Amino acid sequence: MRLWLTWMMLMSVLLVSQVDAEEKQQASTEETKPFLVVKLVDQEGKPVVGAQTGMVAIVKGSDREQGLEWDFGHYEQKSDAEGMLRFRDRGQFRSMVYARHAGRGLVAVKRTDLIEDQKSPLVLTMYPECHVTWTIESSQLRQRGKEIGVLRGLSSSENLICQWCQRTGSTLHFFLPQGEFSLLAHSKHISPIEKPIVIKAGQKTLDAGTSDAHAQKWILLEGQPAPEIADVKEWKNSPPIKLSQLRGKVVVLEFWGWWCGPCVYFGIPELFKLRDEYSQDDLAIIGIHTPYGEEDEVTSVAELDEKLAKIREKIWKGKTIEFPVVLTRFRKVPYYPGEKSSANAIMNVEYGINRFPSSIVIDRQGNVVGKLDLRDKAGREELRKLIEAK
């Protein structure tokens, strides 16, 4: 299950949604006919009044005095006197109902798009919640004197995200009913790690233990010779290039895809600026085009150009990519031996790339510097120093 990829794409949707949330919330009035009505009941069949639900359900922080902090995002609502929830905005509904009554310690989790005979109201039984804890560490990072960084986690039911957790230190917290779930942990410095759990009826707590997460491979590559470009279908704007041929130049490997909104809106335009700012004698840029899935793979430069036509016109204002781009093959491969095959290209495995866009910088000696955010002032400054250090 590519749970972390689902997380990435959904996060992009949520970020966009937050921009115009207030306007849409005003448009969602009581007169708007609900497309889904849910009735929450307890195990005795009685309505649950005051249960919360919303666009997302996040445990987003903790402190000693207040304990865990909750956020149901935009479009939060509470069940009424009859236990009813009325969903009126399809654009903000993710096919997952997560409802929680904090006072009574009840939770309901249900993926609605898989229900064949869906009646109205859809009756969901709320069960006693189980407080699940999962601690994450990384011996590889510890050996290199690095921290895990801000840890984020999510839980899923029926292959769809139901609850999030972030900013709670090294231990993730989830509040779930009885059933089978999958947990995922991720941070800037660790590879995504998943763990299945089973919550038994009446279980109030579950310690999912401590998991040792792999460090992101680009961290393990820091100071090491950069792996060569591999498993390429075709090159755009250049004959095949070996990184060893580029010794003496600073190199930026940009991992991106035509399907990736942040890539085409922000990543590639930033590379246009870099190409205008620095000489090709000092800075080499190579785009590593990666498919999100098999359906997103491009088989030729002509196909890529076709997919980018509207983007060039509407987003890039007529600019076109002039630096070399490699089209990688779609492959289902694991990031580490023994793991699930969740990577989608050999090059992603070689450099440990699971976020897009990602910029890997290589110094003039051909060694990996690391992953830099070239839209950030600090990242641009580090790149500038590398280029000026001849």
Q: How far apart are CA 384 and CA 203, in angstroms?
A: 56
Q: What is the pLDDT of residue 20?
A: 40
Helix then strand count (H, E) for the chain reads 9, 23
pTM of the model: 0.82
Q: What is the pLDDT of residue 65?
A: 65
Residues in the chain predicted with pLDDT less than 50, given as ranges, are 1-2, 4-5, 7-30
Q: How far apart are CA 46 and CA 106, in angstroms?
A: 13
Phi and psi of 381, rounded to 5°?
-65, -40
Could you report the per-residue pLDDT of 176-187, keeping only the tens digit for each?
999 999 999 999
Could you report the per-residue pLDDT of 14-27, keeping only the tens digit for each?
433 333 444 444 44
Q: Tell which phi-psi region holds residue 338, choosing left (phi > 0), alpha (psi between -120 and 50) or beta.
A: left
Q: What is the DSSP string of 47-73?
A: B-TT-EE-S--EEEEEETTTEEEEE--
Going from the N-terminus, what domains does the chain have, and what CATH number goes with each? 33-212 (2.60.40.10), 217-388 (3.40.30.10)
Q: What is the pLDDT of residue 341?
A: 76
Q: What is the pLDDT of residue 10?
A: 46
Q: CB neighbours of 294 closer than 8 A, spacing ≥ 6?
A: 330
Q: What is the pLDDT of residue 27?
A: 46
Could you report the per-residue pLDDT of 111-135, keeping only the tens digit for each?
999 888 878 999 999 999 999 999 9
